[in-house]
Amino acid sequence: MAITRDKKNTLVAELSDVLTTAKMTVFAQYRGLSVADVQELRRAARAAGVTITVVKNRLVRVAMGSLDTYRNTDTTGLTGQLLYAFGDSDEVAPAQVLHTFAKTHPELTFAGAFSGDGSLLSADEVKSLAGLPGKNQLIAEVVAQLLSPVHDVTNALSGNVHALLDGVSAKATN
């Protein structure tokens, strides 16, 4: 069943909106996945704040052409059955969600990605991005590093106070 021109225009407008807010858009080949597998992927993506969309590559090209950020981006890699993962809060989350899913479903293979600034990333670059920790994990690691001197001082002082109290307690009982 063919899609009407009005429906295509609506899809292009929605894609344009999503692309303008997305920090990272990862696209992957999904040939061989069942509908249940794609639904499972969408559930996992939704939990991570990522949106998964299956749409014609031609409509993505039109949407990208209408945006200044993506106008000069090479879109020759948009061929075959692709699904698009959009992340608007974390740059690495779309790649991580697809990478985690691809571990149990080898039919899903990375084809590339578009960063928020309009640059094209290869499949290998997306795989290396997927191995990076997420935004929240990086924030937690920085906070832990900043708090470690405070914890060290607190532990040192509490250890000395305990030793002093133990000494006073031992003198008091003798």
CA distance 4 to 20: 24
46 is written with which tokens?
């939704």
pLDDT digits (tens, 9 = 90+) for 84-121: 999 988 888 999 999 999 999 999 999 999 988 888 99
Mean pLDDT of the chain: 87
What are the residue boundaries of the structural domains of the chain, listed by start? 5-132, 133-174
Which one of 3.40.50.150, 3.40.50.300, 3.30.70.1730, 3.90.480.20 gives the CATH number of domain 5-132? 3.30.70.1730
CA distance readout (Å), 147 to 48, 96, 101, 155: 27, 28, 34, 12
Find, among 98, 3, 116, the residue nearest to 58 by Cα.
3
Q: Select the more confidently predicted residue: 171 or 61.
A: 61
- pTM to 2 decimal places: 0.75
Find, among 23, 137, 37, the residue nearest to 86 by Cα.
23
Give the Cβ contact number of residue 100 at 10 Å.
15
